[in-house]
Amino acid sequence: MIWTNILGWVQQAVPFAAFLALAALGELLTEKAGSLNLGTPGTMCVGASAGFITVYSYCNAVEEPSVVLILLISLGSSFLAATLLGLLYSFFTVSLRINQNVVGLVLTIFGCGLAEFLSYYFVKSESGNVRCEAAFRVFTAKIPFLSEKLGWFSELFFRYGFMLYVTIAAVILLSLFFYHTRAGLHLRAVGENPGTADAAGISVTKYRYLASSLGAGLVGMAGLFCVMEFKSGAWSTADVYTLEAFGWLAVALVIFALWKPLNLLWGSLIFGFCYWAYVYLPQLLGVTVSTDLMRMLPYVITILVLILVNLRRHKGDQGPAALGLSYFREER
Amino acid sequence: MKQGPSRRTPLFHIAKRDRMRPAAAWGVRVGAFVLALLLNALFVWCVVRVDPLTFYRTMLRGAFGSSSYLWATFKATAKLLCIAVALAPAFKMRFWNIGAEGQVLIGGMAAAFVMYHYTSLPTPVLFLLMIVCSLLAGGIWGLIPAFFKAKLNTNETLFTLMMNYIATQIVLYFYNEWRGIRSALGMLNSSTKVGWFSSLWGGTSDGSLLQNEDFWFIVIVAVLTVLMYFYLRSTKHGYEIAVVGESGNTARYAGIHVNKVLLRTMILSGAICGFCGFLTVSSQSHTISSEMAGGYGFTAIIVAWLSKFNTFTMAGVALLIVALEKGAALMSNTYGTLGFSAPAADVMVGVMLLVVIGSEFFIQYRVMRSHAGKEAETV
């Protein structure tokens, strides 16, 4: 009984953690270069709706949708649509030097509206869900051998769709990129002190454009991942609000992880366990907890982390020093 | 990275303007506004093939076309303006208060709590208590991030952002508690009207302005707007805020207690947001929901930023944004079946805001053609 509950909790928390980690990874990449993109919720919505709409249309259009095309179309279009928003963000904050908070918030308003609008327009379901069964099966397909034959080990670690493993790989790759490559060093330099980076011949513009665009792309894919995993391949326009909330949660997770990619892995798990605690805590400990108050926890602990980090004043724990600041060479 | 200086000169280069004449700056903004209207007309034409003239006429009618449309527009404007006015002192101090949404929610929550639990209090006492509680709640919500900013220099953007969701969850908690097993909460005290504005004149209205809840909402916000204008412009506090905003070091040198100003201003900013929550609960929604602030907490940030802390300008900007929203709402009522759904309003507002904030670049900076030969030597 206890084992089933714990297992259930883990199996719910892990996929939740995974798409959150992927979204946070995108935002982290953006923030490492010094851009605080508050458009993340909007980007996530746009990525999700673009990916879902295209793959839904594709699956309806052909008799036997192919697995490869489903993956290419859904992930590709969500990545592309979100990257476009990221480009827009970079254009406004880097080229036009508009305040990052303002641009980000406008993109969230715009992105959420656009996602909802597109869903109405193309999917034409004003009431209830639209489901894309074929895509859902592709995204939740289990690894054949590992997911069945290893007993509890399989149950805990291999009962998930491939996106989880892609996310873990992406986190590790980006961590290697940040701390073990020259380009990663340059990127961090741009986020820490764009003036110095510029003087050293690193193009602040190039790094910020690339980081924001690709970061937004990851956020968009996380949106699609969320639809396929958390919403079981179903999409309704009301989901935009759910996704928006998750987008903010991803922004919180970046802080919680102290801007280090590897911390995202366990940080997101904690968020996932918090999110699902309202189901399993009563059964495990016999205490009833309010769903709403439990869902407050990730934000509360993020604030605590924010405070603790500043209490310790340890340099390595802080966010990029130039986070949120536009850079203009002539203004130094 | 060791190829030496690039020989290419960019086609354009950018220089900061000293200061654009106000008339010219407004010219740029109006130009951006017109451009955004054209873009939106194009968007509408692409979606539902409505020609621009019909589109603009429908938009105008939706915002100002009848007395009920007018009331809706002005009421929403007042709400947006109230939050923007609350943000003005914080932004002037360069404190990024992204937490207006949460401050409104928690203020409204406090007011609703009083009117839900203390129904037997005499009306004046009840209203006083509601106002005080909403001011306190909003003030505290603003004070917490300011306190940690002052003591530990935490990032206020991220901190206030997180506070929003804590407030949202608290409201959701009470919503579900009070709802019990009903499917929705409905209006609080709907039979007794305790704590409603209308209870101040006996619950039923004779239809005159003085007995109109919306009218008082708008009047109160108008008064606040004027007060805030003069608070920022002609008081010692306003001056201190301006100096702290320009440079913390200058302020310290001038003997201003930066932290004291910071805390005081954020309490004020949060308290006015909380007051907006009270106004919403008492005169508008008469209930709580996590949508009480309706995203205006975020839109108001953009309103305040665009208006450069001038509260009268804010009134104009807020009216424009709300008019766009209301106009788009009528568009979606009329053409909804053709695919012009309600969220299109957000798209149109988004396009408008992007173009208008983009135009700030041309006000701040000058773009010049580079003359290749000369430039290469001077660089």
Spell out, as residue ranges, where chain B has pLDDT lower than 50. 1-4, 373-379
Nearest neighbour of A324 by CB, restricted to B148, B157, B339: B157
Give the H/E segment covering residue B329. Answer: helix B311-335
Neighboring chain A residues of B351 at a CB cutoff of 8 Å: 110
Provide the residue ranges of all domains of chain B, joining segments of one domain with +.
74-321
pLDDT value at position A254?
A: 92
Q: Would you place residue A315 in the very low, low, confident or very high pLDDT band (cuts 50, 70, 90)? A: low
Report whether B245 contacts B256 (CB < 8 A). Answer: no
Q: Could you tell me how many CB contacts below 8 A there are between chain A and chain B?
A: 148
**Contact: A110, B347; criterion CB under 8 Å:** yes
Tokens representing A179 are 């701390």
Report whether B348 contacts B43 (CB < 8 A). Answer: yes
**Contact: B339, A105; criterion CB under 8 Å:** no
Q: Which residues pair with B367 in a beta bridge?
A: B14
Tokens representing A122 are 């193309």
- Residues in CB range of B177: below 8 A, 6 or more apart: none
Dump pLDDT digits (tens) for A94-129.
988 898 999 999 999 999 999 988 888 877 655 567
Select the more confidently predicted residue: B127 or A319.
Answer: B127
Alpha carbon of B243 to those of A103, B230, B236, B258, B368: distances in Å? 26, 16, 11, 9, 33
Report whether A8 contacts A280 (CB < 8 A). Answer: yes
pLDDT value at position B4?
A: 47
Chain B residue at shortest CA distance from A250:
B162
Residue type, A31: E
Report whether A236 contacts A130 (CB < 8 A). Answer: yes
Residue A252 pLDDT exceeds 60: yes
Ramachandran sector of residue A192 (left: φ over 0; alpha: ψ -120 to 50; beta: rest): alpha
Provide the residue ranges of all domains of chain A, joining segments of one domain with +.
14-258
Neighboring chain A residues of B90 at a CB cutoff of 8 Å: none
Alpha carbon of A297: minimum distance to chain B alpha carbons (Å): 8
Nearest neighbour of B173 by CB, restricted to A106, A290, A300: A290
Q: Which residues pair with B16 in a beta bridge?
A: B365
Question: How open is the CA angle A118-A119-A120, to the nearest 5 degrees?
Answer: 90
Report whether A27 contacts A97 (CB < 8 A). Answer: no
pLDDT value at position B44?
A: 87
Task: Quickly list H helices, chain A.
Answer: 2-32, 40-61, 67-90, 100-118, 133-140, 152-157, 162-180, 182-192, 194-199, 204-229, 239-256, 261-285, 291-294, 297-312
Report d(CA A218, CA A26) in Å as an integer.
Answer: 5
Nearest neighbour of A99 by CB, restricted to B16, B161, B305: B305
Select the more confidently predicted residue: B143 or A277.
Answer: B143
Nearest to A329 by CA among A194, A211, A225: A194
Phi, psi angles (nearest 5°) of residue A101: -60, -45
pLDDT value at position B375?
A: 45
ipTM of predicted assembly, 2 dp: 0.87
pLDDT value at position B376?
A: 45
Give the H/E segment covering residue B14. Answer: strand B12-16
Report d(CA A280, CA A288) in Å as an integer.
Answer: 10
Nearest neighbour of B302 by CB, restricted to A97, A105, A290: A105
Report d(CA B342, CA B325) in Å as an integer.
Answer: 10
Report d(CA B194, CA B197) in Å as an integer.
Answer: 9
Chain A residue at shortest CA distance from B344:
A117
**Contact: A98, B157; criterion CB under 8 Å:** no
Look up residue A143 and give its DSSP letter: P
Neighboring chain B residues of A113 at a CB cutoff of 8 Å: 343-347, 349-350
Neighboring chain B residues of A98 at a CB cutoff of 8 Å: 357-358, 360-361
Q: Please name the fold of domain B74-321.
A: ABC transporter involved in vitamin B12 uptake, BtuC (1.10.3470)
Alpha carbon of B209: minimum distance to chain A alpha carbons (Å): 34
Phi, psi angles (nearest 5°) of residue A244: -60, -45
Report d(CA A317, CA B368) in Å as an integer.
Answer: 42
**Contact: A310, B148; criterion CB under 8 Å:** yes
Q: Which residue's entry shows tokens 């990545």?
A: A79
Chain A residue at shortest CA distance from B6:
A201
**Contact: A292, B16; criterion CB under 8 Å:** no
Mean pLDDT of A61-79: 88
Neighboring chain B residues of A307 at a CB cutoff of 8 Å: 148, 152, 154
Report whether A289 contacts A277 (CB < 8 A). Answer: yes
Nearest neighbour of B159 by CB, restricted to A103, A251, A306: A306
Strand locations in B122-269, DSSP E?
none
Residue type, B240: E
Q: Which residues pair with B366 in a beta bridge?
A: B15
Chain B residue at shortest CA distance from A105:
B298
Interface probe, candidates B347, B352, B355, B365, chain A, greatest A C-beta count within 10 A: B347
**Contact: B343, A117; criterion CB under 8 Å:** yes
Chain B residue at shortest CA distance from A186:
B1
Interface probe, candidates B39, B161, B306, B349, chain A, greatest A C-beta count within 10 A: B161
Alpha carbon of A5 to those of A148, B103, B124: distances in Å? 19, 38, 53
**Contact: B364, A97; criterion CB under 8 Å:** yes
pLDDT value at position A332?
A: 52
Select the more confidently predicted residue: A152 or A65.
Answer: A65
Neighboring chain B residues of A323 at a CB cutoff of 8 Å: 155
Give the H/E segment covering residue A131. Answer: strand A130-131
Report d(CA A311, CA A154) in Å as an integer.
Answer: 42
Question: Sign of the C-alpha dihedral, residues B65, B69, B75, B79?
Answer: negative
Return the percentage of chain A with pLDDT > 70, whole number: 93
Calculate Rg over the CA atoms of chain B: 24
Neighboring chain B residues of A100 at a CB cutoff of 8 Å: none
Instruction: Report the interhelical angle of A40-61 vs A239-256 (nearest 10°).
Output: 130
Select the more confidently predicted residue: B53 or A283.
Answer: B53
Task: Determine the CATH number of domain A14-258.
Answer: 1.10.3470
Mean pLDDT of A285-293: 78
Return the percentage of chain A with pLDDT > 90, whole number: 42
Of A18-27, A45-54, A238-247, B205-214, give the lowest mean pLDDT range: B205-214
User: Coil, helix or strand for B369?
Assistant: strand
Tokens representing A106 are 């406008």
Report d(CA A38, CA A268) in Å as an integer.
Answer: 19
pLDDT value at position B3?
A: 47
Dump pLDDT digits (tens) for A146-202.
666 676 676 667 778 888 889 999 999 999 999 999 999 999 999 999 989 988 989
Q: Please count the CA atoms within 13 angstroms of the CA of B65 that sit on its side-chain side.
A: 14
